[in-house]
Amino acid sequence: MKPRFPRAQPKERVVPSGAILPFPILFSSPQALVIDKPAGLPVHPGPRDGPSVEDWFPLMSRRRDGPWLAHRLDTDTAGCLAIALRKQTLLAMQTCFASGQARKTYWAVVEGVPDESGEIDQPLRKVSSPTSGWKMELHPSGQAARTSWRRLGTDGHISWLELTLHTGRTHQARVHCAALGTPILGDPVYGTRTPDLSMLHLFSRRLELPLAVPIAATASPPAHMLTALARCGFRETLQPQNGSLLAPS
């Protein structure tokens, strides 16, 4: 695989003195960070000119090169997001993701009650139309995509699932859950978004990367998922989602 170097943080972006990161740090070393990305925050700038994770790169490192996003999360998906602070670490992290060595565990709350556990191995491809934009679909000619699931709880109407993504395709968890007949709550593309469920009930729960210095991080459920998770039997004290002040390297 040819190494990819995402663009480094433009130095013209200036974070005000005394500012703190608007998201928790779940793992920190001189080589890498894992942050708890909030739902609704893009990882990089988009056409709407709103804030993104990259806007906060100056607080993460004072080096002339980097930081870099090691992978991506959808804007609506919360949870563990890995950021490289060194170029060699970026290459090692990219290799982990590309080779399937990265362990990516997600939690989702879905409509209905699937089997207690199972696996869906269905390739995905991107399709688009002038009227509805783009989305992913199951298709034999698509890229390989494999997801395992385990049902952690249910109230008989909705279910709390642990999803292990063995590949990293766009919208993989969302499409595969919908293909099971149990779309993720709050998903307007592959399910149904209603006024009382206006946010996607999916987050990256845990990320593990077997590097020379192993990376492991676990995120707490975002606030908007707690009511649905509680219906399915989840119990955990919500941790404060305050920003984190990071000493730049």
Token reading at 5: 């170097």
Measured between alpha carbons, how far is 220 from 222 in angstroms, rounded to an integer? 6
CA angle 12, 13, 17 (to 5 degrees): 115
Q: For the chain, first and last CA: distance in Å?
A: 29
- 74 catalytic residue (yes or no): yes
| Active-site hit among 49, 65, 74, 121 | 74
For residue 69, which phi and psi values (nearest 5 degrees)? Answer: -70, 125
Measured between alpha carbons, how far is 169 from 72 in angstroms, rounded to an integer? 10
Token reading at 25: 């740090």
Distance from CA of residue 145 to its chain's centroid?
16
Q: Which of 7, 57, 63, 8 is nearest to 33 (CA)?
A: 57
Q: Which of 147, 151, 148, 146 is nearest to 113 (CA)?
A: 151
Which residues contact residue 175 at a Cβ distance below 8 angstroms, ignoring those fewer than 6 apart?
A: 124, 136, 137, 138, 145, 190
Q: Which of 38, 33, 34, 13 is nearest to 23 (CA)?
A: 38
Active site residues: 74
